[in-house]
Amino acid sequence: MNEGRTSLFDERARIFLADVAKLTRALPRDLANDMVAKQLIRSAGSVGANHRAAFRSRSDAEAIPKLGVSEEEADECVWWLRALGDINGATSEIARLQDKAQQLMAMTIAAIRTIRKRMK
């Protein structure tokens, strides 16, 4: 698979995770925020980790399910970010991170489509 593309995605995913961590650290500490923050951080980390695992796969057929998990985790980040906005009030930072998660999801979908075309 294309290692250069993996590096770009990897960098963006790591920055996304760091930005999510900064956001969650700034939240007021209470049961709801702590639970949502924990889920959000897990999902944000999983986006990049599963994408990286896909690009280290032994075959295209093995890579697609891992990319599928990455796509699902990016979508889950959007959901958790919306939940944070509902709990704490929407902010420009939450909206920015939702956009970043959607971009990571779109990049992952594009990678899946490319692999599927190559497999045909």
Q: At 114, list the tokens.
A: 């490319």
74: enclosing H helix or E strand: helix 60-88
Q: Measured at the alpha carbon of residue 92, what is the angle toward residues 86 and 95, in degrees to the nearest 5? A: 65
Non-local CB neighbours of 104 within 8 Å, separated by 6+ positions:
9, 12, 13, 16, 47, 70, 74
pLDDT in tens, 54-96: 989 999 999 999 999 999 999 999 999 999 999 999 999 999 9
pLDDT in tens, 7-57: 899 999 999 999 999 999 999 999 999 999 999 999 999 999 999 999 899
CATH code reported for the domain at 3-119: 1.20.1440.60
- Annotated domain spans of the chain: 3-119
How many residues in the chain?
A: 120
2: enclosing H helix or E strand: none
